[in-house]
Amino acid sequence: MDILYFYKNPIKIWLVEKEVNIFKRIFWKFFSDGKYIGEIKNSLPHGNGELYYVHGGKYDGDWIDGERNGEGSYTYADGRKSFGKYHKGKKNGEMTITCPNGDAYKGNFKNGNPFGKFNFTNSLGIKSEVDFKRFKNPLLRL
């Protein structure tokens, strides 16, 4: 069983019996403004769950120790959707991003950033390639 001690002085926070990242636990307990529905372990999201952010976004997918990890989808408040793999809380691996107007991007992310060539299909079905090494990142808002 985890034992978590809180003192008035935040420097004196002790966690005994299990090696759990105390900063993650404090974040989820006091600073997470969203609503999480799903599996938990050691007071952190772990397994499958959904996090509804106060700004209107929603993540639905796999969690490990309070971080997005595995397959998941993120829906932005403006209607964009991304689906793919996450590692340690960041997009990592192949992702598909769709926009409300029908545009779609498919490519790879590395440590949360677009990496290499993305296949772009606009709402009319016209396909092209976007190389993120050569151009400014049009997905910067993602």
| pLDDT, mean of each 10-residue run, the chain (142 residues) | 34 39 54 76 86 87 92 93 93 93 92 87 90 58 50
For residue 134, what are the domain limits?
88-142
The answer as to whether 32 is a domain residue is no
The answer as to whether 75 is a domain residue is no
The answer as to whether 101 is a domain residue is yes
Distance (Å, whole) CA 121 – CA 103 = 6
**pLDDT of amino acid 60:** 95
**pLDDT of amino acid 75:** 94
The answer as to whether 13 is a domain residue is no
Q: What is the pTM of this model?
A: 0.70
**pLDDT of amino acid 6:** 32
**pLDDT of amino acid 31:** 52
The answer as to whether 58 is a domain residue is no
Q: What is the number of domains present in the chain?
A: 1
**pLDDT of amino acid 1:** 31
**pLDDT of amino acid 38:** 86
For residues 92 and 109, the answer to whether their CB atoms sit within 8 Å is: yes
For residues 45 and 62, the answer to whether their CB atoms sit within 8 Å is: no
**pLDDT of amino acid 7:** 33
The answer as to whether 92 is a domain residue is yes
The answer as to whether 63 is a domain residue is no
Element (H, E) at 25: helix 22-26
The answer as to whether 128 is a domain residue is yes
